[in-house]
Amino acid sequence: MAVDQIHLNEQDLDSEWVDLIREALELGIPASKIRDFLNK
């Protein structure tokens, strides 16, 4: 899954979360896992 397929709504997320998510994507964590985590 390409990084650009995750559409972050930065108004909804704390900038700290946005940074963490970007870092996770750079480390190769699948977008689907991040999405599952955020949807809990």
> Each residue of 1-40: pLDDT tens digit?
455 555 655 556 677 888 888 999 999 999 899 888 888 7
What is the CA angle 27-30-31, rounded to 5? 110
Identify whether the C-beta of residue 1 lies closer than 8 Å to the C-beta of residue 32. Answer: yes
Please give the pLDDT value at position 28.
Answer: 95
pLDDT at 29: 92
According to the model, what pLDDT value does residue 12 have? 61
Please, what's the b/e burial string for 12-34 (b: 16 or more CB within 10 A of its CB; e: otherwise)? eeeeeeeeebeeebeeeeebeeb
